[in-house]
Amino acid sequence: MSHQTRKDPAGAKLGMWLFLFTELFLFGGLFLLYGVYLARYHREFAAAGREMHLGFGTANTVILITSSLLAAMAVTAIQRSGRRLVLYLLGGTVLCGAVFLFNKYLEWSDEIGHGIYPGSPRLAAGPPGESVFYSLYYLTVGLHGLHVLIGGTLLAVVAARVGRGTIHAGDFAWLENGALYWHLVDLVWIFIFPLYYLVL
Amino acid sequence: MKPTDQTMTPAASFWNDTGRSGIASWIFSTDHKRIGLLYFFSVFGFFLVGVVLGLLIRIELMAPGRTIMGPQTYNALFTVHGVVMVFLFIIPGFQGSFGNLIMPIQIGARDVAFPRLNLFSWWLYMAGAAIILTSLFTGGGPPDTGWTFYLPFSGRTGTNVSLAVFGVFVVGFSSIATGVNFVTTIHRLRAEGMTWGRLPLFVWSLYATAWVQILATPILGITLVLIIAERLLGTGLFDPGRGGDPLMYQHLFWIYSHPAVYIMILPAMGVISEIIPVFARKPVFGYKMIAFSSLAIAAAGSLVWGHHMFTSGMSDTAVLVFSFLTFVVAIPSAIKVFNWVSTLYKGSISLEAPMLFSLSFIFLFSIGGLTGLIQGAAATDIHVHDTQFVVGHFHYVIFGGSGFAFFAAMHYWLPKFYGRRYAEKPAIIAWALMSVGFNILYFSMIVLGLEGMPRRYYDYLPEFAPLNLVSTIGSWILASGLVLLLVNLVRGLRSGERVGKNPWGAATLEWSIPTPPPTENFEEEPVVTHGPYDYRGAGIP
Ligand code: HEM
Ligand SMILES: [Cu+2]
């Protein structure tokens, strides 16, 4: 059917932006809970926040910002330079995503090793505010990690299609939308990092 | 599903013109009309399931004490009735079926902006529905929490809450996809000359609804994730024993679910705004105000969720603010009602089935709205909260309102897609039975609630017995009308009288193309030169 082949890049981008709004609101619910419970348990939140691994958090922030830069460069590159550069840049983005998740894995194993996880006996014995803090932390960061995984997969698919030539300088809505998604993942982390690691 | 023979050269209509054949030509089709019909049959199927459950609940309540089931079954039944009606019928109902069938044609487009996403959202809807159905027969049995899944109970009950909640989550994704698709379509694919000021009011209402879907549904998503986390990981975020606050669950749930009632009612209002001017043969009164009030309802309606929690222990200030805002929403809703009534004034009214259902809509929705104000005022809400009054109220709004608008839409638009119509007289009898049965069924509940009978209760005091019996009898009258409606419609669409392009003499674009419509709707790109209610411009058959 012919109408499926008509392209509307502006429409595709509008659709993506609308979808990204929904993602913001998804995380928004968790940030809302954070705000309310912070007001209620500021002492426990502050104590728990000081226990967080600032090193892991900082490293992951740097990694994600770098990856976002690479993704943005890939969008410029597909319009100006060759396919190979785009592939390198996308490869770099996906690699950063993988390193991010690996760091997360190390950080979580350490915390879980110390008996800190939702419903753990250690948290059950502590003050209620502490258990609320860690439950929120695991949920928010876990949901974010899931988004890193989805975004990475999406960009890998995009890279494969760039390689095959179905995404090219004349039609790169997919690449642009993939990069937009990745920026969202980055943006959400830029809220998570200060809230859980820095300000408390 | 298919009309027995075609009103036009077979290859030209969307019934025939497709590369695939059989069932695959439907479930893999990206044509908005086929997807619209898929949605129609699935949501309507679930509506019938929900009706049967509702009738069973009513039979149990027919007399005090045990009538046909035990208390646990009763709890499961009203939960599943609510889940099916809300998440599988009324929320996806309009956007999925009539939105898909009509909206692209009304704006002069060949399809929606993302046809494959459109098909995907139907698949997601079916997948979610399948998961919800699975949850009824596996695990600890059907959920017994009520459709609101309030924690902490839903975190503890042994029934299959996690799976049902996950199914609702998947259906939510489908809703988001439709919202994104519709906003993009309405922005990008309007035909030449189809300015925002010439957009049919149904499209305006779908547009406002789509924004609510986009902005509110993710909150439901995260709330459902939190229920599952609570059950599987023991996060304790809403468990007072571990520092959580169940009131926060209610806030999150209603931040979605109050706007969700606008997902249910706004498109219904859009349908009414289409039908009234056509059957009064007059341009709609106050086009701009009707369009604007859709957006105003969507915006103001997003701020009133707290009126569900007046009795849950909010601060007095919060109660005051939410009560005030709730009254604010009544203004744009009333604007619409006044505009419809003004459109009727001095019109040359023809009382055919779509019109009759629309008039019932206005009547029933007004009762629903006024009883809503009684609950929006904190002082009176404390008296009626969690009583049968509430059940009466929301059935007046979502069944008397959205449901009746759905029936109106079925009589109004389905002939366009089948090329044949239903018989008028049985349709009117069905309408009369349903309207009378409806009021007997639910007005009794309103009175019972005022007298103090609680909702979601398996048993009741003997003084409530007479009205409960009346209510149950009303449900049978309503159901018999529904059966007649169905039989008449199915027979009509299979072998009824043929209809031409524009049987109602309407002026919107869908009536300017052949009946049934061809695959790509328009032979050539339409250029719009007149407004949607400008009957001088429309060719009347
Ligand atoms: C013949 C049709 C219907 C009948 C007989 C019926 C009857 C009932 C009854 C008796 C209850 C239980 C009240 C209680 O336990 O306190 C109920 C609850 C409910 N109904 Fe209906 N109903 C019908 C149609 C609908 C429709 C069309 C909708 C929405 C589109 C709907 C939505 C609901 C909801 C959301 C609940 C609340 C369930 C809960 O408390 O968890 N019903 N209905
Ligand atoms: Cu509400």
Q: Which 8-state DSSP code applies to residue B511?
A: G
Nearest to B511 by CA among B417, B428, B438, B420: B417
| Phi, psi dihedral angles at B506 (to 5 degrees) | -90, 165
Residue B4: what pLDDT? Answer: 44
Pick A136's closest partner by Cβ from B113, B223, B237: B237
> Which is the closest atom of ligand 1 to the Cα of B482?
1
Is residue A5 pLDDT above 60, yes or no? no
Q: Is the dihedral of CA B129, B135, B138, B144 positive or negative?
A: negative
Instruction: Specify which residues A171 forms β-bridges with.
Output: A168
Nearest to B244 by CA among A193, A103, A124, A131: A131
Buried b (16+ CB within 10 A) or exposed e, B367-394: bbbebbebbbebeebeebbebbbbbbbb
CA distances from B123 to A25, A69, B68, B126, B338 (A): 24, 36, 36, 5, 39
Is residue A23 pLDDT above 90, yes or no? yes
Asked if A9 has any chain B CB less than 8 Å from its own CB, the reply is no
Structure tokens belonging to residue A83: 């396919």
- What's the average model confidence in pLDDT over A81-103? 92
CA distances from A61 to A67, B81, B336 (A): 10, 47, 51
Percent of the residues in chain B that have a pLDDT greater than 90, as a whole number: 74
Percent of the residues in chain B that have a pLDDT greater than 70, as a whole number: 96
Q: What is the dihedral of CA A72, A29, A143, B242, to 10 degrees?
A: 150
Question: B307: CA distance to ligand 2 center in Å?
Answer: 6
Domains of chain A, first to last: 37-198 (1.20.120.80)
3-state secondary structure B458-479: CCCCHHHHHHHHHHHHHHHHHH
CA nearest ligand 1 atom 23, residue: B54
Ranking A79-83, B409-413, B488-492, B495-499 by mean pLDDT, the lowest is A79-83
Is residue B45 pLDDT above 80, yes or no? yes
Is residue B389 pLDDT above 90, yes or no? yes
Cα(B182)–Cα(A118) distance, integer angstroms:
40
A198 pLDDT band (50/70/90 cuts)? confident
Ranking B168-172, B374-378, B399-403 by mean pLDDT, the lowest is B374-378
Nearest to B475 by CA among B495, B445, B498: B445
Cα(B280)–Cα(B208) distance, integer angstroms:
25
Question: Helix crossing, B32-60 with B465-495: angle to 10°?
Answer: 150
Residue B10: what pLDDT? Answer: 46
Domains of chain B, first to last: 26-511 (1.20.210.10)
Is residue B11 pLDDT above 60, yes or no? no
CA nearest ligand 1 atom 34, residue: B82
CB contact under 8 A, B219 and A28: yes
- What's the average model confidence in pLDDT over B82-92? 94
- What's the average model confidence in pLDDT over A51-57? 89
CB contact under 8 A, B233 and A19: no
Ranking B15-24, B273-282, B372-381 by mean pLDDT, the lowest is B15-24
- What's the average model confidence in pLDDT over A21-29? 93
B531 pLDDT band (50/70/90 cuts)? confident
Is residue B168 pLDDT above 80, yes or no? yes
For B419-467, the pLDDT digits (tens) are 999 999 999 999 999 999 999 999 999 999 999 999 999 999 999 999 9
Residue B8: what pLDDT? Answer: 46
Q: Which amino acid is at B310?
A: F
B536 pLDDT band (50/70/90 cuts)? low
Residues having CB closer than 6 A to ligand 1 are: B 50-51, 54-55, 57-58, 78-79, 81-82, 85-86, 89-90, 146-147, 391, 395, 398-399, 403, 455-456, 475, 478-479
**Omega before A128 within 30 of 0, i.e. cis:** no
Is residue B42 pLDDT above 90, yes or no? yes
Instruction: Give the mutation candidate from B124, B169, B232, B235 for the A interface (greatest A CB count, under 10 A).
Output: B235
CA nearest ligand 1 atom 40, residue: B146
| Phi, psi dihedral angles at B146 (to 5 degrees) | 85, 155
CB B485 within 8 A of CB B87: no
List chain A residues with CB under 8 Å of B217: 22
Structure tokens belonging to residue B83: 């889940």
Is residue B314 pLDDT above 90, yes or no? no
B241 pLDDT band (50/70/90 cuts)? confident
CA distances from A6 to A3, A11, A171, B100, B185 (A): 6, 11, 12, 19, 13
Cβ within 8 Å of residue B462, ≥6 positions away: B64
Is residue B240 pLDDT above 70, yes or no? yes
Nearest to A187 by CA among A53, A23, A30: A23
DSSP A27-51: HHHHHHHHHHHHHH-HHHHHHHHHT
Residue B51: what pLDDT? Answer: 96
Residue A4: what pLDDT? Answer: 43
List chain B residues with CB under 8 Å of A24: 218
Structure tokens belonging to residue B238: 């809403």
Average pLDDT over all residues of chain B: 91
Is residue B270 pLDDT above 50, yes or no? yes
Residue B87: what pLDDT? Answer: 94
Pick A29's closest partner by Cβ from B19, B111, B252: B252
Is residue B173 pLDDT above 50, yes or no? yes
> Which is the closest atom of ligand 1 to the Cα of B89?
30
Residue B538: what pLDDT? Answer: 52
Question: B83: CA distance to ligand 1 center in Å?
Answer: 10
Cα(A12)–Cα(A176) distance, integer angstroms:
10
